[in-house]
A and B are shown apart, each in its own frame.
Chain A
Amino acid sequence: MLKQASRLLSRSVAAASAKSATTRAFSTELPSTLDSTFVEAWKKVAPNMEPPQTPSAFMKPRPSTPSSIPTKLTVNFVLPYTSELTGKEVDMVIIPASTGQMGVLPGHVPTIAELKPGIMSVHEGTDVKKYFLSSGFAFLHANSVADIIAVEAVPLDHIDPSQVQKGLAEFQQKLASATTDLEKAEAQIGVEVHSAINAALSG
């Protein structure tokens, strides 16, 4: 009986893979119902046992990609200690990705972007709110939801320019006098972040 079950299993798997070899859907996009031929074959062989469930049956289905591009982008901007924006509908967000400033509009291609220290601006009509982010990630989903996470985010007027200059000079000096690779890396990070803050304050 077990030998028959494995034969039936392999037959149904082979059939499934043969017909969908070129156009494979992602497992999270398939409906979370079991293949009916498999279930029937299972019931014939083991009528008293429940057919096994696959992991996708336990997962919540992915939010569907709307067929027309939504007019607004939903932004969730979180920090470790607070949720700055939750489900806020905006027109555009410009994030400081490591590859440069990236403008995100509704209907943006799904992307995971690593952020570098820089300014993030949230555009809602004529309203623009800017934050300086220390670093983080941005997850842009197919349904025009943007999840932006950062460790520290401060509005630009909370920054003290004299501290920034002092810090920059200090880290440049540390970079010059650094010995180990790790010290050099730390000093380099300091110089980069301070320069980014300077650029943010002046630009």
Chain B
Amino acid sequence: MASNAAVPFWRAAGMTYISYSNICANIVRNCLKEPHKAEALTREKVHFSLSKWADGKPQKPVLRSDTPEA
């Protein structure tokens, strides 16, 4: 099935809009002057724990954290 509209190159490569938008935002944040850059990088920090489920039980959680452990 041929696509009707011209898809943007990033969608053709399998990227979603939200990944594209986040990459653009990261690039802009990296081009800032100090002290704005330090502020901006705090916004990039993520902290989450992800666990896949199998047979109704959670498997080992994966913790991804950019905040230093207190």
Contacts and interface: CB of A to CB of B under 8 A. Distances in A.
A167 B31 contact: yes
Interface of A: 81, 117, 132, 134-136, 151-152, 154, 158-160, 163-164, 167, 181-182, 184-186, 188-190, 193-194, 197
A92 to B, nearest CB: 24
B32 A188 contact: no
B24 A189 contact: yes
Given A159-B31, A185-B15, 9 more contacts: A135-B24, A151-B25, A158-B32, A163-B32, A184-B13, A185-B12, A185-B13, A186-B15, A197-B28
Nearest to B21: A135
A149 B15 CA distance: 21
Contacts of B12: 181, 185
A198 B11 CA distance: 25
Interface in B9-33: 9-10, 12-15, 20-25, 27-33
A152 B25 CA distance: 6
A182 B13 contact: yes
Contacts of B21: 134-136, 151
A55 to B, nearest CB: 28
A158 B37 CA distance: 9
A193 B10 contact: no
Mostly, the B contact residues are helix
B43 interface: yes
Given A182-B15, A185-B15, A135 B25 contact: yes
Contact of A189 (B20, B30, B33, B43): B20
B10 A159 contact: no
A152 B29 contact: yes
Contacts of A188: 9-10
A185 B10 contact: yes
B31 A163 contact: yes
Contact of A167 (B14, B27, B37): B27
Given A81-B43, A151-B25, A135 B20 contact: yes
A117 B43 CA distance: 19
Nearest to B11: A185
10 contacts: A134-B21, A151-B22, A152-B40, A159-B32, A160-B32, A167-B27, A184-B13, A193-B24, A194-B31, A197-B28
B15 A160 contact: no
B9 A185 contact: yes
Contacts of A135: 20-21, 24-25
B47 to A, nearest CB: 15
B64 interface: no
